């Protein structure tokens, strides 16, 4: 089950306004995305197939052409000749459509078209075949995907000897033999959780294997996103990031991937789906190296940091889900023996600097929100305490942060606020559905406005302190 609401759909839409450009025909993708569950696999290989296998018949609107050619011995010959072009698309993943291609790949940014040029050696020329991909990883969320620029992947015959030479276009920039990865930053990357879960983790899964010998080509280019993640992008690619939207060049590559691979769950890597067995623990090691973070391991009874008590970072929010009794909460944590680092939004804004603060800590505490994503910088075996706001939010909070924590080599503790601990009680009577039937608010599509944007939290200090006492003990006594 996917959540019916998300930051991406609500706030993300407004943030995208004004920066949106070059997006095409939002309506068409909606029909396309509604056709789930799709199990579609398209394989195109030099001069013999477009083959398409599928288990669903409702594909009338799909914008690729289905063709079958029996492949004769000459096709195999073309392969062996070393000039084969091959295109494989997987359109059955729930998170993203991806195409992999090799051979003669020509990318024209301005028209968002990727040409995969078939070898000339065969007398039977393939028909043109077209697959369109929105290279972002929230395929199930139409509202978000409608903002993503569509990239057309065209499997095309070689230029005719006396033809106009328009399709496929001539290369104007030939790179160094490294492949390309094409993806969009147009989704929800201004939110740190989405930036990590929708983009950085999938980019790691897709591009890390090239060891820096890869070109990153970005559609819906957001300079502020690229600037923020510059250290990560520099670690993944030795080449400058290309803004494809206005790129007039025809860039040619021996291989390319269009769309990022993304595994089930948030902030997740499934080692069994990763070609190289990547894991979230490995991803965190990668980030630790990118940001030169010194601590691989957290404070524990088996590894005490002799000179100081366990350190706790409190991620504090401002406009919603803020702690109204911040100072009392900090004092209570200090009473327990923690060295407390309060982190306000202005402290968190500089990612590199805050990564070092987080890495110096052994526990992270915060009300559900994007700031908790900074857990990726914690040392192994550290503890994350998620404060779940009022409103039957347990499952959603678990999905975003609880479940990912396990795969990261961290420990997870959840603290669910009671009806006494939410400022909603100042707005609604206790017999209001907000308290008696929170699910009904979810069903009306008002969960975001009511429970996420609409409440602050006043922790019951005794109750919270008791929960945190257990965390302190589990760290210091093993
Ligand atoms: C396509 O993606 C689906 C879902 O992630 C996966 O189960 C399947 O193995 C993939 N197919 C190929 C040929 O990679
Ligand atoms: C293939 O594309 C070329 C160039 O756009 C076009 O002239 C030709 O008619 C197309 N062929 C088919 C079968 O669609
Ligand atoms: C939460 O508290 C902040 C002040 O810290 C205030 O500006 C905001 O309006 C409050 N939000 C709600 C939903 O009560
Ligand atoms: C991780 O935490 C557990 C539970 O406190 C502890 O038993 C274990 O020794 C820790 N591992 C390391 C390497 O610190």
19: CB partners within 8 A, 6+ apart: 186, 222
Q: Mean pLDDT across the chain, nearest whole number? A: 85
- Among 167, 168, 169, which residue has the most ligand 2 atoms within 8 Å of its CB, making it the best to mutate? 167
Q: For residue 477, what pLDDT is reported?
A: 87
Position 303 confidence tier, pLDDT thresholds 50, 70, 90? confident
Q: State in Å: Cα 321 to ligand 3 middle.
A: 8
Position 5 confidence tier, pLDDT thresholds 50, 70, 90? low
Question: Above 90 in pLDDT, residue 156?
Answer: no
Q: How many residues does the chain have?
A: 478
Q: Is the CB of 325 inside a 6 Å radius of any atom of ligand 3?
A: no
Q: State in Å: Cα 63 to ligand 2 middle.
A: 15
pLDDT digits (tens, 9 = 90+) for 13-27: 666 654 444 333 333
Q: Is the CB of 467 inside a 6 Å radius of any atom of ligand 3?
A: no
Does 138 or 28 have the greater pLDDT score? 138
- Among 116, 128, 155, 167, which residue has the most ligand 2 atoms within 8 Å of its CB, making it the best to mutate? 128
Residue pair 457/423 in contact by the 8 Å Cβ criterion: yes
Overall average pLDDT of the 263-274 stretch:
94
Q: Is the CB of 300 inside a 6 Å radius of any atom of ligand 4?
A: yes
Question: Above 80 in pLDDT, residue 264?
Answer: yes
Residue pair 269/279 in contact by the 8 Å Cβ criterion: yes
Position 138 confidence tier, pLDDT thresholds 50, 70, 90? very high
Q: State in Å: Cα 470 to ligand 4 middle.
A: 15
Q: State in Å: Cα 81 to ligand 4 middle.
A: 56
d(CA 103, CA 118): 8
Q: For residue 22, what pLDDT is reported?
A: 37
Q: Is the CB of 476 inside a 6 Å radius of any atom of ligand 4?
A: no
Q: State in Å: Cα 427 to ligand 3 middle.
A: 12
Ligand whose nearest atom lies closest to the CA of 273: 1
Residue with CA closest to ligand 4 atom 6: 478
Task: List, in sequence order, every residue forming a beta bridge with 212; answer none if it has no partner.
Answer: 237
Closest CA to 178 of 229, 252, 242, 243: 252
Query: DSSP string spanning 197-257?
Result: IIIIHHHHHHHGGGTB--EEEEES--HHHHHHTHHHHHHHBSSPPEE-TT--SEEEEEEEE
pTM of the model: 0.85
Residue pair 245/110 in contact by the 8 Å Cβ criterion: yes
Question: Above 90 in pLDDT, residue 168?
Answer: no
Q: Is the CB of 41 inside a 6 Å radius of any atom of ligand 1?
A: yes
Q: How many CB atoms lie within 10 A of CB 302?
A: 8
Q: Is the CB of 10 inside a 6 Å radius of any atom of ligand 3?
A: no
Q: State in Å: Cα 12 to ligand 1 middle.
A: 29
pLDDT digits (tens, 9 = 90+) for 6-61: 778 777 666 665 444 433 333 333 333 333 333 344 454 443 333 333 323 223 22
Q: State in Å: Cα 40 to ligand 1 middle.
A: 9
Q: State in Å: Cα 435 to ligand 1 middle.
A: 43
Closest CA to 328 of 434, 209, 202, 465: 465
Overall average pLDDT of the 421-429 stretch:
98
- Among 319, 391, 423, which residue has the most ligand 3 atoms within 8 Å of its CB, making it the best to mutate? 319
Ligand whose nearest atom lies closest to the CA of 344: 3
Residue with CA closest to ligand 2 atom 12: 128
Ligand whose nearest atom lies closest to the CA of 345: 3
Position 183 confidence tier, pLDDT thresholds 50, 70, 90? very high
Q: State in Å: Cα 290 to ligand 4 middle.
A: 25
Does the domain spanning 311-476 belong to CATH 3.40.50? yes
Overall average pLDDT of the 146-161 stretch:
89
Closest CA to 5 of 299, 457, 396: 396
CB-defined site of ligand 2, < 6 Å: 127-128, 167
- Among 300, 405, 413, 474, which residue has the most ligand 4 atoms within 8 Å of its CB, making it the best to mutate? 300
Question: Above 60 in pLDDT, residue 158?
Answer: yes
Overall average pLDDT of the 232-242 stretch:
97
Residue pair 299/339 in contact by the 8 Å Cβ criterion: no
Atom number of ligand 2 nearest to Cα 166: 4
Q: State in Å: Cα 157 to ligand 2 middle.
A: 9
Ligand whose nearest atom lies closest to the CA of 100: 1
d(CA 202, CA 136): 9
Position 146 confidence tier, pLDDT thresholds 50, 70, 90? very high
Q: State in Å: Cα 456 to ligand 3 middle.
A: 6
In the chain, where are the structural domains located? Answer: 21-278, 311-476
């Amino acid at each position: 089950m996917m959540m019916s609401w998300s930051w991406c759909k609500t706030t993300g839409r407004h943030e995208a306004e004004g920066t949106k450009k070059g997006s095409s025909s939002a309506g068409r993708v909606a029909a396309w995305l509604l056709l789930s569950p799709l199990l579609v696999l398209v394989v195109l290989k030099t001069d013999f197939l477009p083959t398409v296998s599928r288990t669903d018949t409702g594909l009338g609107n799909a914008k690729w052409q289905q063709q079958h050619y029996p492949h004769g011995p000459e096709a195999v010959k073309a392969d062996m000749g070393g000039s084969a072009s091959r295109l494989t698309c997987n359109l059955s993943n729930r998170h993203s459509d991806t195409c992999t291609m090799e051979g003669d790949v020509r990318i024209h940014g301005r028209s968002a078209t990727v040409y995969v040029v078939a070898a000339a050696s065969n007398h039977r020329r393939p028909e043109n075949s077209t697959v369109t991909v929105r290279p972002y990883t929230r395929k199930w969320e139409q509202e978000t995907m409608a903002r993503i620029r569509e990239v057309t992947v065209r499997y095309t015959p070689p230029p005719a000897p006396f033809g106009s030479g328009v399709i496929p276009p001539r290369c104007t920039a030939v790179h160094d033999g490294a492949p390309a990865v094409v993806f969009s930053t147009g989704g929800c990357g201004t939110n740190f959780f989405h930036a990590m879960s929708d983009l950085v983790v999938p980019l790691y899964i897709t591009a890390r294997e090239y060891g820096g010998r890869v070109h990153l080509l970005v559609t819906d280019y957001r300079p502020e996103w690229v600037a923020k993640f510059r250290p990560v992008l520099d670690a993944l690619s030795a080449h400058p990031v290309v803004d494809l939207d206005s790129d007039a060049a025809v860039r040619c590559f021996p291989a390319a991937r269009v769309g990022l691979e993304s595994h089930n769950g948030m902030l997740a890597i499934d080692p069994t789906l990763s070609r190289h067995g990547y894991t979230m623990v490995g991803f965190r090691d990668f980030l630790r190296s990118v940001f030169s973070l010194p601590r691989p391991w957290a404070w524990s009874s088996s590894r005490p940091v002799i000179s100081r008590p366990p350190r706790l970072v409190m991620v504090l929010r401002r406009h919603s889900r803020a702690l109204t009794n911040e100072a009392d909460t900090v004092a209570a944590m200090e009473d327990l023996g923690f060295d407390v680092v309060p982190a306000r939004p202005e402290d968190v804004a500089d990612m590199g600097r805050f990564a070092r603060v987080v890495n110096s800590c052994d526990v992270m505490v915060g009300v559900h929100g994007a700031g908790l994503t900074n857990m990726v910088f914690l040392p192994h075996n550290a503890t994350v305490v998620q404060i779940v706001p009022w409103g039957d939010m347990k499952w959603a909070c678990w999905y975003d942060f609880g479940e990912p924590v396990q795969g990261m080599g961290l420990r997870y503790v959840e603290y669910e606020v009671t009806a006494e601990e939410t400022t909603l009680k100042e707005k609604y009577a206790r017999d209001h559905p907000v308290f008696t039937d929170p699910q009904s608010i979810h069903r009306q599509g008002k969960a975001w406005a009511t429970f996420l944007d609409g409440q602050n939290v006043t922790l019951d200090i005794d109750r919270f302190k008791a929960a945190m006492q257990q965390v302190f003990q589990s760290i210091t006594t093993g």
